[in-house]
Amino acid sequence: SDVCSSDLLREGKKWSISTEKLVLDDLIFLKTGDQVPADVKVLEGTVEVNESLLTGESDNLSKSQGDELFSGSFVTSE
């Protein structure tokens, strides 16, 4: 099976691990084309996501600090 990986910060170190091994408090770095691996909150910066798999709406949504991103959505612009 195809395993997705995420770049993240855990305990002060940067890692690239399979999304199955994410734990609470991991800080995930997302880039254009990434699928959001879990429900997360934007801590820094802005990002555009497509939530069409979840909502059926094809519009890209702009998300910024404090906004939630939902598992299954895709990053369309950073």
66-76 average pLDDT score: 96
The span from the CA of 2 to the CA of 78, in Å, is 25
Angle ∠(54,9,44) on CA atoms, nearest 5: 60
pTM of the model: 0.84
Q: Are 51 and 73 in contact (CB under 8 A)?
A: yes
**3-54 tens-digit pLDDT:** 678 899 999 999 999 988 999 999 999 999 999 999 999 999 999 999 999 9
- Position 44: which residue type? E
Confidence at 1, pLDDT banded by 50, 70, 90: very low
> Would you state the pLDDT for residue 3?
64
Residue scoring higher pLDDT (18 or 78): 18
Q: Which letter does DSSP use for residue 53 in this model?
A: H
